[in-house]
């Protein structure tokens, strides 16, 4: 299955929940009025795009309709697609311009952090890169063992200390090992205890200090892993983590198992943090670089069956109107 096909398949639930509902709203109107805007906005909010972004989309929609003199509701979905594409901006890939490059992975437990690291290591290894992993989540029981299973599966080295040891010391040793072994990429796992924000802040600050002194000239990525199935809660997590770390990109996991993929739009619009990787399945190669154009196309693309269904709904609506008129 190609990349676009995977994204398209992964977004099926989101499309059914969000885009098709918006299409049904548009199909139920014969003219563009305030009630249409209100129903569209409500549908977007209920589809986990979030209040702020839903209001912004409708505001831009009003402006485009006025500027272009649009009177036919049938043209509205194309305009919304344009607006979403504008919001997504330009894609940015991972910065791996130095040897070694450092990728620090943060996120709450259960978001798919360990799995993401395993898949990322597999991806980098398949590109011919020499990868080493720092098991700096020394807080959570079994975190190191789980990570080791994934690193063995991906065929990459791991630097680990005992459970409960100092995460900063693990990172220090991992940087030294990455340099000594001439590794291309060092991936750092971290503890995800957002409920204890002060400890998390202190821990991340210490790791950052070590990276600044021991790997001053290395390119650095800080990737926040979010579970797409949690919807707007994921956006709130991103806000909280951005207070403790300089996030350079988002990894959105479980996009294939949720109807809440609209949060991608919220993240880009409200937080201005690029989504760099997405998880669209459980296989080891199902972590994909995020392509905003493919995302928007897959979300809004109409199939023949959907077009036929929309035409039938429009026909039924016209028949009802005629009956009411009689």
pLDDT, tens only, 90-123 = 888 999 999 999 999 999 888 889 999 999 999 9
Q: Which residues are CB-contacts of 101 (< 8 A; sequence separation ≥ 6)?
A: 94, 95, 184, 185, 186, 218, 219, 220, 221
pTM of structure:
0.86
Q: What rounded mean pLDDT belongs to the chain? A: 87
pLDDT band at 308 (very low <50, low <70, confident <90, very high): low
Read off the pLDDT of residues 34-88 as tens digits, 9 standing for 90 and up.
999 999 999 999 888 889 999 999 999 999 999 999 999 999 999 999 999 999 8
Helix%, strand%, coil% for the chain, nearest 5: 60, 10, 30
pLDDT band at 200 (very low <50, low <70, confident <90, very high): confident
Per-residue pLDDT tens for 227-240?
Answer: 988 888 888 888 88
What structural domains and CATH numbers belong to the chain? Answer: 3-90 (1.20.120.140), 101-296 (3.40.50.300)
């Amino acid at each position: 299955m190609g990349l676009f096909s995977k994204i398209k398949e992964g977004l099926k639930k989101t499309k059914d929940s969000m885009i098709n509902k918006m299409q049904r709203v548009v199909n139920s109107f014969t003219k563009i009025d305030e009630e249409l805007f209100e129903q569209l906005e409500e549908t977007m909010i209920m589809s986990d795009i979030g209040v702020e972004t839903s209001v912004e989309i409708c505001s831009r929609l009003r402006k485009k309709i006025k500027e272009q003199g649009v009177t036919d509701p049938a043209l509205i979905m194309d305009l919304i697609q344009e607006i979403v594409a504008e919001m997504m901006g330009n894609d940015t890939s991972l910065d791996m311009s130095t040897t070694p490059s450092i990728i620090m992975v943060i996120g709450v437990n259960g978001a798919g952090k360990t799995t993401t690291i395993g898949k990322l290591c597999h991806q980098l290894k398949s590109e011919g890169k020499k990868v080493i992993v720092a098991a700096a989540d020394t807080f959570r029981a079994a975190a190191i063992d789980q990570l080791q299973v994934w690193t063995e599966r991906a065929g990459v080295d791991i630097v680990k200390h005992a459970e409960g040891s100092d995460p900063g010391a693990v990172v220090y040793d991992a940087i030294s090992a990455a340099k000594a072994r001439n590794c291309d990429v060092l991936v750092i796992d971290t503890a995800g205890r957002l409920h204890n924000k002060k400890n998390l802040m202190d821990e991340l600050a210490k790791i950052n200090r070590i990276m600044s002194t021991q790997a001053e000239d290395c390119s650095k990525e800080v990737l926040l892993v979010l579970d797409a199935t949690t919807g707007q809660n994921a956006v709130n997590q991103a806000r909280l983590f951005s207070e403790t770390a300089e996030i350079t990109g988002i990894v959105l996991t479980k996009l294939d198992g949720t109807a809440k993929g609209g949060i991608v739009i919220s993240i880009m619009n409200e937080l201005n943090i690029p989504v760099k990787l997405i998880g669209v399945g459980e296989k080891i190669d199902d972590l994909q670089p995020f392509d905003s154009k493919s995302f928007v196309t897959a979300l809004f693309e109409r199939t023949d069956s959907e077009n036929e269904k929309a035409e039938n709904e429009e026909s039924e609506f016209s028949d009802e109107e005629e009956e009411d008129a009689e």
